[in-house]
């Protein structure tokens, strides 16, 4: 029986994780659930899964939650608050596996704490890895933690990689990774019309049902840019070894191209419970609840090269990884601020890459050898991006 902590339980990945865990009560016990402020969903999750701990980061919501449970059958749950409490629950002795599913930079410190504590880290929170890079990977190596990717593409690559890829022999065997992307909702929209897209259009992804931020990232293809950086770190590849491939049907979730000409692909319906169940059962397999793929329903599979004029965010991600150091952190922070402003209707969809690039050009790159430097550059980028947005509005 493994103890499970879900960071970001109330989000799209968190909900899918609980769905998978509930199918295997003899294998997983839910120890801790965390939310930022969505206490209604959290309360329902507590009634269904009765964890020992919850964290509600927002303090006033946490007090409200404490009152909400006080006369219920889950009144014995320990309720913690504040961002530091995330690290406490992610490193509890009773916890074996941590699902890192907080969105954005807010997930960095608890995900890193879980890695340092040697937990099995199920990593959905790609922003944490993009920001902390080698620091995160070194923490995993030093503690002996298992790091299992949840992003469907990285999970697919993990499944197609040689079992011993961590030993470094992959360098001789793997030529490149083919990282698939659906192309999002605006793959075929005339480029001149993209300035007018609304947040509602941007979050309506054709194949996946996801949180708002990652849905906008998919529409701009910043998501693929972050994933390219994530793939370099997870699989020890150079950016030149990652080929982004637009595959609108989202049936193949990525491929590994070997030196002998073999290409291995992982396929399945677009349902995040598949990579989640893969990581939770690893190295075994168990039922995810997802519909089996009916290969006869897959009438065709198309593959295209991405158009960097349509998707400048992808170009910016390559620019950031080539600059190295703190630049991926700046890219990520500027993107978070720009996406938030777009969702609040303060900037246009096409302003997002412009804001990010101005921010990247304004901040000098530094060596990202300590967490303090990374967090400092994250803050600098947020301040600069907010100023760029304010200047555009004036």
Ligand X SMILES: NC(=O)c1ccc[n+]([C@@H]2O[C@H](COP(=O)([O-])OP(=O)(O)OC[C@H]3O[C@@H](n4cnc5c(N)ncnc54)[C@H](OP(=O)(O)O)[C@@H]3O)[C@@H](O)[C@H]2O)c1
Contact footprint for ligand X (CB under 6 A) = 8-14, 35-38, 57, 101-103, 106, 124-127, 151, 208, 210-211, 213-214, 272
Question: Treating both helix axes as pointing N-terminal to C-terminal, what angle do 327-343 and 312-323 enclose, rounded to 10 degrees?
Answer: 150
Q: Which is nearer to ligand X, 124 or 135 (CB)?
A: 124
Q: How far is the CB of 189 from ligand X (least distance, A)?
A: 22
Q: Is 153 annotated as a binding residue?
A: yes
Q: Is 146 annotated as a binding residue?
A: no
Q: Which is nearer to ligand X, 38 or 173 (CB)?
A: 38
Q: Which is nearer to ligand X, 127 or 340 (CB)?
A: 127
What DSSP string describes 275-329?
A: HHHHHHHTTS-----PPPP-GGG------B---TTT-HHHHHHHHHHHH-TTHHH
Q: Which is nearer to ligand X, 127 or 357 (CB)?
A: 127
Q: Is 14 annotated as a binding residue?
A: no
Q: How far is the CB of 105 from ligand X (least distance, A)?
A: 8
Q: How far is the CB of 158 from ligand X (least distance, A)?
A: 14
Q: How far is the CB of 383 from ligand X (least distance, A)?
A: 18
Q: Is 357 annotated as a binding residue?
A: no
Residue 34 CA to residue 168 CA, distance in Å, equals 36
28 strand-pairing partners: 2
Give the contacts of 84 (CB within 8 A, at least 6 positions apart). none
Q: Is 168 annotated as a binding residue?
A: no
Residue 131 tokens, joined: 């920001």
Q: What is the DSSP letter of 269?
A: -
Q: Is 72 annotated as a binding residue?
A: no
Q: Is 336 annotated as a binding residue?
A: no
Radius of gyration of the chain (CA): 20
Q: How far is CA 99 from CA 156, 312, 350, in A?
A: 18, 31, 33
Q: How far is the CB of 343 from ligand X (least distance, A)?
A: 11
Q: How far is the CB of 55 from ligand X (least distance, A)?
A: 8
* Closest residue to ligand X: CB criterion: 11
Is-contact 119 31, C-beta < 8 A?
no
Residue 388 CA to residue 234 CA, distance in Å, equals 33
Q: Which is nearer to ligand X, 30 or 358 (CB)?
A: 30
Q: Is 37 annotated as a binding residue?
A: no
Residue 7 CA to residue 83 CA, distance in Å, equals 11
Q: How far is the CB of 64 from ligand X (least distance, A)?
A: 12
Q: Which is nearer to ligand X, 29 or 205 (CB)?
A: 205
Which residue has 């960071």 as its token pair?
Answer: 7
Residue 31 tokens, joined: 């120890």
Residue 372 tokens, joined: 């303090």
Q: Which is nearer to ligand X, 36 or 358 (CB)?
A: 36
Q: Is 12 annotated as a binding residue?
A: yes
Residue 13 CA to residue 209 CA, distance in Å, equals 10
Residues in binding site for Mn(2+): 151, 153, 227
Residues in binding site for NADPH: 10-13, 38, 125, 127, 211
Residues in binding site for 1-deoxy-D-xylulose 5-phosphate: 126, 152-153, 182, 205, 218, 223-224, 227
Residues in binding site: 10-13, 38, 125-127, 151-153, 182, 205, 211, 218, 223-224, 227
């Amino acid at each position: 029986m493994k103890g499970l902590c879900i960071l970001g339980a109330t989000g799209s990945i968190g909900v899918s994780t609980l769905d998978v865990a509930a199918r295997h009560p003899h294998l997983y016990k839910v120890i801790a659930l965390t939310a930022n402020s969505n206490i209604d969903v959290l309360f329902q999750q507590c009634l269904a899964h009765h964890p020992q701990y919850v964290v509600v980061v927002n303090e006033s919501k946490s007090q409200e939650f404490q009152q909400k449970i006080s006369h219920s059958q889950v009144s014995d749950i320990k309720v913690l608050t504040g961002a530091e409490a995330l690290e406490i629950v992610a490193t509890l002795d009773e916890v074996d596996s941590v699902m890192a599913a907080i969105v954005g930079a807010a997930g960095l410190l608890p995900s890193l704490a879980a890695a340092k504590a040697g937990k099995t880290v199920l990593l959905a929170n790609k922003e944490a890895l993009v920001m902390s890079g080698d620091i995160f990977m070194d923490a995993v190596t030093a503690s002996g933690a298992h790091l299992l990717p949840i992003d469907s593409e990285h999970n697919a690559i993990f499944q197609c990689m040689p079992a011993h890829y961590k030993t470094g022999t992959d360098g001789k065997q793997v030529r490149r990774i083919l990282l698939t992307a659906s192309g999002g909702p605006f793959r075929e929209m005339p480029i001149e019309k993209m300035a007018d897209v609304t947040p509602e259009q941007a979050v309506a992804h054709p194949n996946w049902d996801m949180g708002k931020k990652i849905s906008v990232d998919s529409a701009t293809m910043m998501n693929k840019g972050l994933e390219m950086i994530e793939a370099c770190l997870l699989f020890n590849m150079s950016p030149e070894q990652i080929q982004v491939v637009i595959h609108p049907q989202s049936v193949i979730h990525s491929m590994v191209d070997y030196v002998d000409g073999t290409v291995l692909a992982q396929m399945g319906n677009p349902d995040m419970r598949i990579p989640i169940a893969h990581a939770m059962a690893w190295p075994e397999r168990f039922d995810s609840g997802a519909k089996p793929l009916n290969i006869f329903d897959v009438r065709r599979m198309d593959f295209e090269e991405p158009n960097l004029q349509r998707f400048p965010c992808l170009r910016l991600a390559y620019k950031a990884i080539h600059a190295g150091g703190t630049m991926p952190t700046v890219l990520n922070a500027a993107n978070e601020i720009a996406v938030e402003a777009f969702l609040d209707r303060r900037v246009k969809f096409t302003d997002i890459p412009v804001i990010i690039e101005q921010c990247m050009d304004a901040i000098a790159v530094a060596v990202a050898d300590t967490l303090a430097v990374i967090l400092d550059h994250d803050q600098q980028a947020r301040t600069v991006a907010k100023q760029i947005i304010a200047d555009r509005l004036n």
